[in-house]
Structure formats: C-alpha cells, structure tokens
Structure 1
Amino acid sequence: MASYATAEPQFVEVNGTRFAYLRFGSTAKTTVPLVFLVHFRGTFDHWDPELIDPISATREVILLDNSGVGKSSGTVPGTYAEWADNVAQVVKALGISQIDLLGFSMGGFVAQMTALNYPTLIRRLILAGTGPSAGEGIEGGDSAAFGRLASASNDDEERGGFLEGFYSLTPAKQSSGDKWWKRMTTARSNRSDYLGPEGTKAQIGAVLRWSNPEYASEGSYNRLHEIKIPVLVANGDNDILVPTVNSWVMFKRLTNADAHLHIYPDVGHGFLNEYAGQFSSLVNQFLDV
C-alpha cells in the first residue's frame, strides 16, 4: 500500500482546470475517504508524514492542490466559497458521493464553506488551527508573523517563517519545529515549492475578504448554526496565526452540530505536527465513531 512518501500525483480535469491530488490508504474499514485541505501557501507536498501515515493506515485519504496551487493549473480564487466549489466539483468528478473533510488553517476556512454550501457531501468535519470569518469575538493573528510567511522567497526565509509562526520561540520548541521541517521537506520527491508571489497575493486577498465584516455574507460566522454533522475543532493553546480564542468562538457557534473541542497544551499553530501521533489518533477515533 502506498504511503505519503510513495503516493504518485494524479490529475482530474474540471471545467478546464487540471487538479492535482494524492489518493492512497486503506479502504478496509470504510469507503468514505478523508480529504485534506492545506494551509496558506502550502501544497499537498507540505504535510507531515507522521500525521498522514497513521491516518492513511486506517482509511483512504485524498490530499488536494486547489486551483493555482502546487501541481494544479488555473488561478487562486478570490473567495473561499469558490475554493469550496472546486473541492466539491473535484470530489464529484472522482465519482465519490460522500467524504470526511479536514481543513488546516486557511484550509479550515475552505472546509467550513464546503460544509455550509454542500451539506450532503460531508459526513464528518475536522477544523484544525482555524476559525470563522469576521464576527464578534474573533481576533486577528500576529500580522508580523503572517507577513514573514507571505514574503518568504527562499528556503531559509520559508523555514524561519514557518518555524516562528507554527512554534513558540523557546529552544525546545524550535528544536521540535526543526525536526518537523526536516521530515516534512524530505518526505516526498519532486516536491512543489510553496506558492509563488502571484498566487500568494491572491490568497492574501481571500484572507482579507474573509476577515472583513463588510463581506460577512460571504463567510461562515453567521451560518455556523447550519452545520448539523459531527465536527472536531482542534488547536494549540497559543496559536499566534489564528488565535486560539477563535477556535472557542467557532465551537460555541456550532450550535446544531455534534461539536467537539480539543486544545493541546504548550503549543501553537503547529500543534498537529508537534502532537502528530496524538492528533492522528484523535482523528481516527473521531471518524470511526
């Protein structure tokens, strides 16, 4: 059976856009695949194998590059609703009737809109290191840390930006981050680079729109009560990019969902890498119920 390291990219064309994805894992326990949506500037080559492999050992997984990202063609859409349209259309093109969905960080924004706009498509939803669109109680992240991620243009700048944004600055935590960086960047061959300047600018535009109360009607904050499926919300207790309080606000607004909240101690945005073993186990337990 293929692993994250050995899975070969596959492609499907939807409305003139060639979407790239990895699809691998076990179908022994369930035929419902788990789709992963990645963070800001990331591609399907930027996941942690220590997170992905324990999950794919028990279920099929699909890691998707949205349009304009990684090995996919096209351009980055301006709203997360459009990103969600892409997810739903790719799933349909693959002949899949229902999925579980995990969105991390910016991918979590997309996951919320997918669940809201395609409610029969999603069986269970996992929202990791993310939060709702603009609304009461929502806090903005560290603009300097986000700026370093956005402007990074070489390996050293990318490493520095992600380690500072995902991990606290203590020597022990930076050492943990360095181990993650090494295993993540060496897991796969022929890896895509982080998203380039043009696509990054488009992603920033989508973030700004998501965070602007003037576009509240396009977002998730006032619609979270529409979600009526099991939802797992997870984060670290000191997330500086998508502040941890936003996970709490999101959890409280999922009034009609079977919502669960898990906060990991002494960790930030990169909790799913630092606690990869625990989080992968939690994901499998949540999806197996």
Structure 2
Amino acid sequence: MTELKVASRDPATLETAPTRYVEAGGIRFAYRQLGPSTGTPLVLLQHFSGNIDAWDPAVVNALAADRPVIAFDNAGVGRSTGQTPDSVAAMARDAVTFIGLLGFAKVDLLGYSLGGCVAQQIAAEHGQLVRKLILVGTAPQGGEEHLLAVLKEAFSHKEAPDPRLPLFFTQSAGSQAAGKAFLDRVYARKEDRDTDGGSAVTDPQAKALITWCATPDPEHAMLRAIKQPALVVCGSNDTMLPADNAYAMFKGLSNAQLVLYPDSGHGALFQHHEAFVSHVRTFLDA
C-alpha cells in the first residue's frame, strides 16, 4: 500500500516565527518563513525603511494559510548584514542571491513600494525565476514620486503615535481607525523584534527610489520586458507614489490586472487587508 504523503505546515505566525539566517558573499540575510512546506513560495519585498516586522501580520499570516511565505531583510536592512545599496538594480541582485540561498527555482513576488521597483527589476531580468508578481503602491521606472515631501509632511504630525499613520492612511475617520488597528497588529510581536537601521538604510534607499523614478523610460522597456502575469494594486489617494503610476504599469505590462482601493493611501493593502488577501489568493491560484 502506497503511503499518503501530506505536506506539513508550520503553525508559526509572523509574530511567533523564529528569525533565521542564510549567508553568502559576506552578507547574512535575516528571514522568517511561514506556511506549508510545499507550493510556490511567495517572497515579500519590503517598502522604503521597512524591515520584517513592518509587514502586517493580518496580510502575511493569511497569505501563509495555503502557501509558503518568506519575509526577509535585504542587504543592510534590519538584522541582515552588508551595506544597503543605493540602486534598485543592486537591491534586485541581492534579493536574487537570497532566493537562491533558499534553493527556490521558481517564486512569486509581492513587491510593496520600493520593493515593487525591485520586483519589476527581478521579473524583467530573471524570467525563469518569477512565476507571478504583485506590485503594490509602487511605480514604473520614470514614474511619479513625492517621497521627501510626503515624509516631511508625515513627520510634521507630532500628534501621531507613529509616522505611518499620516504616511500610509488618509485623514478620514475610517482610514485613521484602520491605521491604528494596523499599528496594533504590527507591534504585537514583543520578543526578537527586527531592528531599524536609521539613515544608513534610509539614505541609500531614498536615493534608489528617487533615481528609479527620475530615470526616463518613455517606451516602458522595463515593463515590456516583464512577461509574467502581474497584479497591480494601489490606494485611491496614495500621496507618495500616486495611482497614476499603477495605471501606467497596468497599461505597460503585457498581462496585468489592476485593483484600486477606496479612501486609502500608501498603506492600502493594510487598510483593506481582507480584500487584498482575497485578491492576491485569487490571482496566484488562477
């Protein structure tokens, strides 16, 4: 009688999973892996200044219910060693190195904000590695960004308990309430939290994002090089990387779907986390 093999699933959550490490080329990458042991892994590429614990557990844990999900710190970020690159291309190379260290031959990518730029670079250059990609609150090369102005505005709100409240959410009562719930979830992990790198991370990351958007690509060569199915997601009132970017990516990509969430800013995936997870699952399972 043939023994039935059932895929095991790690019951850990983003709040409880141990931080693991892999190393190559003098860089030790920190990561957490959730979900079942089989299936196409979903690798998360984080936003400007963000680390593993800046992801929303409501998003990560729900996505990990039926697929492997890997959240990691790219080179120089959080508990990963090395120097934070000041270009999207270099960040993409480091991310591909990390994926190779885990032994994955095929992955899905979820790139958020700066991570979405990195995801585009990887998908364009490594067609055999990436099966599908989700691009959230991001911009194409040559797109529109207001990073420094939006950061200045967010940090001017001294009354805010966290700059992400004015940065990621609109001023409506509903969006602000969703933002406060998001912050509660983000800070739920008390032990072994990831670390912030300060200006050693944010300065080169800012240069990378601003340069990416300042580099003209009138023919959308980067987008046209991406052949994989893509899900493009944005908030209706994203002030950092406006929704016009999402529409430009939708039009420039050869096989894309577009989702816009109402009354939401840069953190639309956190505000509308249940709808976002549903949309991502439907897209990845199709």
- The TM-score, its normalising length taken from structure 1, stands at 0.89
Q: Distance in 1 between matches of 2:160 and 2:252?
A: 34
Partner of 1:21: 31
Deviations 1:165-207 (A, max 9, x none): 1111123321221111111112352212433122211111112
Pick aligned residue for 1:53 from 61, 70, 73: 61
Q: Distance in 2 between matches of 1:148 and 1:44?
A: 25
Q: Distance in 1 between matches of 2:147 and 2:85?
A: 24
When the two structures are aligned, how many residues end up with a matched partner? Answer: 275
Partner of 1:242: 241
Quote the RMSD (CA, aligned, Å): 2.1
The answer to whether structure 1 residue 274 and structure 2 residue 264 are counterparts is no
Mean CA deviation greater in 162-171 or 103-112: 162-171
Partner of 2:139: 131
Matches within 5 A, 1:150-165: 159-165=161-167
Partner of 1:265: 262
Displacement after TM superposition at 1:240 (Å) = 0.6
1:277–1:230 distance in 2 versus 1, CA, 3 Å? same
The answer to whether structure 1 residue 4 and structure 2 residue 9 are counterparts is no
Partner of 2:7: none
Same amino acid, percent of matched pairs? 37
Mean CA deviation greater in 167-176 or 98-107: 167-176
Higher helix proportion: 1
Matches within 5 A, 1:108-147: 108-134=116-142, 138-141=143-146, 143-147=148-152
**Structure 1 gaps, min length 5:** none
Is the Cα contact below 8 Å between 1:112 and 1:220 reproduced in 2?
Answer: no
Displacement after TM superposition at 1:133 (Å) = 1.6
Displacement after TM superposition at 1:211 (Å) = 2.1
1:43–1:5 distance in 2 versus 1, CA, 3 Å? same
Is the Cα contact below 8 Å between 1:6 and 1:188 reproduced in 2?
Answer: no
1:158–1:198 distance in 2 versus 1, CA, 3 Å? farther
Secondary structure of the 1:20 match is strand
Is the Cα contact below 8 Å between 2:234 and 2:246 reproduced in 1?
Answer: yes
Is the Cα contact below 8 Å between 1:4 and 1:188 reproduced in 2?
Answer: no
Partner of 2:282: 285
Displacement after TM superposition at 1:3 (Å) = 1.4
Displacement after TM superposition at 1:242 (Å) = 0.6
Displacement after TM superposition at 1:159 (Å) = 4.4
The answer to whether structure 1 residue 190 and structure 2 residue 171 are counterparts is no
